[in-house]
Amino acid sequence: MKKVLFLGLLFCASFSLISQDLRVEPLNWWVGMKNPNLQLLIKAKDLQGGTVSSTKAGLTVKKVTNGDSPNYLFVDLVVAPNAQAGTYPLIIKKNGKVVQTINYSLEARAKGSANRPSYSTKDVIYLITPDRFANGNPANDKVAGMRDMSLNRGALYDRHGGDLRGILDHLDYIKNMGFTAIWNMPEVENDQTLESYHGYGITDHYKIDRRFGTNEDYRELGMKTQANGMYLIKDIILNHCGSGHWWMEDMPFKDWINFGGKFTSTTHRRETVQDPHVSKYDAKLQTEGWFVPAMPDLNQKNPFMQQYIIQNTIWWIEYAHLGGLRIDTYPYSTKEFATMWSDAVLNEYPNLNMVGEEWSSNPIITSYWQRGKVNRDGYKSSLPALMDFPLQNAISEAMNENDKEWGKGLNKIYSTISNDLVYANPDNLVVFGDNHDMSRIYTQVKHDQALLKMAMTYIFTTRGIPQVFYGTEILMSNPKSSEHGEIRGDFPGGWAGDGKNAFTGANMTADEKAMQDFFKKILSWRKGAEAIHKGKLLHFGPENSGEGNGVYVYFRYTSAQKVMVVLNKNADARNIDLSHYEEILPAGAKAHNVMESTDVVFGKTLNVPAKSAQIFEIR
């Protein structure tokens, strides 16, 4: 992927690093964007005082700004509405002499790019750790010259060799399981000394990490997921970069990184954003402090940094045919920039769904960030979706608590869902049992397969957009520790020579196959379940005693379909009184048991098997 070019550079989207003498970002742009303005970062030796001119109509130089470093120019350009795709020469002069000629590429957009569809409640997201899923190209396991040369599948925090080709090779598996969107942990370059596998320490914003593949590989993944009726979701980091980022040794401006480029820890007190009693000291440290020493905090108040991050996001959406975004550590950004960024992206792609990470079990904190929420302090967010951490926490606790205690067990789920009134759009929350930063859901439920099925049934049938961490479908867990390196384990069959292969079924246990079949069946049904995609939710609080104790019943319904879900957490079967649900369930109603593939006629009571989740389509 790396090409060394000198004068007369032809910029193509597949080239991320231009040369040691010249760097221009974004690598290219497109004609027909709604916002005609474009700002180039140009880095080369001694550009101070340089001028830039365009020699071709259609691309106009509006302004040139020198950085604090003599090696940077920021060039504001305007792309004419009638500009055609092609090469546009930009001439850099200093002291009247030409020092660089850049042949900048403006490309044609894909048909319908601006109105691209995105993931929604119809979809189920599959979260992948690329280094740990499948090794499709062993030749890129180690790349000469990179700081982290580890390759040891037995070490929790070394690289294991998974890559984009491995994901491409197994798109059929993902699709056949019933997943319709793929969210990868970040794939961009992380040329960090340690733990470079996870992707959250960016060292080049425009370059896929060579150990994962190339920019072209990533674009191929975007196009093939699209061709398969799926969406590729990119994990975006707005708040920080990696300490090994190429600009750290020569920053464009003195204030490019917060706290003068020296580590000062954030407080991690995310509630300071909403706190009406907050001190300026706490507020500053939350958004300007560094996440960890290896992740310098980007100064989002610098207008050139703002534009850089915004354009980088748009570039990847356009280049890689993305179908959505997930935003890491969303409340660590300043809220002003968060809205600026969201507005700019949605201006170009109004249908794009974007989900932010706000790891709080308090729905008041989470809901603050969703578009449409009327906040007490007047803040208006533009972010469409949030990860539903409050519900995840409730599901985990509900599966483990004693339902006979007041407010415990399944009542936790009931109470949490009852707080949906604080959200502007609870249907556009991403619901999940686990992710890459917490113990796997199978571990959370203490390796109880019945409880895992119950938790996943709830996630797949409640309001919102379900997300599944890779391997949940085959009972992957982290029994030895809560170390991230163990949680992000290798998917069996992703490496040549693996004794077990979950892609083919070879040497899998009966329990693993059964869980895989369970996922396939429920997700296949979910694809055609209108009531789950867009139906209203009606739920009935679990009773505190009697047959209804430890039983939670809820309905999803539209004018065309009605679905009843019954969760029984008890160790014994329960006969529940159906008259409790007569406001929505007619007496003598006929139904189809989805997972058992049987038809039933409801009487006065319903016998619900022990530790089970039953789904009924009311006919």
**Residues assigned a catalytic role:** 328, 357
64 in Cβ contact with 93 (< 8 Å): no
On the CB side of 373, CA atoms within 13 Å amount to: 28
- Which residues on adjacent β-strands are paired with residue 301? none
Q: Cα torsion for 365, 368, 370, 371, to the nearest 10°?
A: 180
- Other beta carbons less than 10 A from residue 1's beta carbon: 14
SS3 labels along 565-617: EEEECCCCCEEEEHHHHCCCCCCCCEEEECCCCEEEECCCEEEECCCEEEEEE
- Identify the three-state secondary structure at position 562: strand
SS3 content of the chain, % helix, strand, coil (to 5): 30, 25, 45
d(CA 20, CA 55): 25
- Other beta carbons less than 10 A from residue 499's beta carbon: 8
d(CA 209, CA 225): 20
d(CA 431, CA 427): 10
Query: Parallel, antiparallel, or unpaired: how do β-strands 551-557 and 590-593 relate?
Result: unpaired
CA 442 to chain centre: 21
Q: What is the DSSP string of 485-538?
A: HHHTPPPTTSSTT-S-BTTTTBT--HHHHHHHHHHHHHHHHHHT-HHHHH-EEE
Relative orientation angle of helices 410-418 and 389-400, to the nearest 10 degrees: 160
φ, ψ (nearest 5 deg) of residue 549 = -70, 130
